Structure 1
Amino acid sequence: MAEREIAIRGEMIRLGQLLKLADLVEVGADAKLLLDDGLVTVNGEVEQRRGRQLHRGDVVAVEDEAVRVV
């Protein structure tokens, strides 16, 4: 799985915001559906909290796409 980098401005970003920033979803409702279905992983573990705080180095994957927070 290819991994691309997504730069953030502050110290952290919430998972729902990152999914939109990385164009993995179009709107927050789409993020909720993916999370509820267990299709999102953070650092290899299934995550269902849209408000999960992510920091530099975290890797988020949705199906066959992965992004690293930088």
Structure 2
Amino acid sequence: MAHHTFTLNSEYIELDKLLKLLAIAPSGGIAKMMVAEGAVSVDGELETRKTRKLRAGCVVEVAAGEFGAGETIRVVGADGA
């Protein structure tokens, strides 16, 4: 399982955009499909909202499957917290 840290440059980032930006999903459409299929959880809970706003402190987990061996993303603020 790969671990990532993403630093926010604004108040939040939408879930599908984060998956695409980190190349976990090859496109925005695939990112939305991954969420819709139940492959993504946020803070330990299954997430079905494709455009969920992620803020500093959120932890995103992408289950192993068609697009990889599993990923964990920690979202941090510009100050690293």
TM-score (norm 1): 0.89
Query: How far apart are 1:3 and its partner, in Å?
Result: 2.8
TM-score (norm 2): 0.78
- Which residue in 2 is equivalent to 1:39? 39
Q: Distance in 2 between matches of 1:34 and 1:19?
A: 9
8 Å contact from structure 2 (residues 35, 50) kept in 1 = yes
Query: How far apart are 1:62 and its partner, in Å?
Result: 0.6
Aligned length: 70
- Which residue in 1 is equivalent to 2:72? 66
8 Å contact from structure 1 (residues 55, 69) kept in 2 = yes
2:37 is aligned with what amino acid? D
- Which residue in 2 is equivalent to 1:55? 55
After superposition, the CA RMSD in angstroms is 1.2
- Structure 1 residues 2-36: Cα deviation after superposition (integer angstroms, max 9, x where no partner): 53201120011111111112221011110121111
Point out where structure 2 has 5 or more consecutive residues left out of the alignment.
Answer: 64-69, 77-81
Q: Distance in 1 between matches of 2:72 and 2:30?
A: 17
Point out where structure 1 has 5 or more consecutive residues left out of the alignment.
Answer: none
Structure 1 residue ranges, 4+ long, deviating more than 4 angstroms after superposition: none
Q: Which of the pair has more CA radius of gyration? A: 2
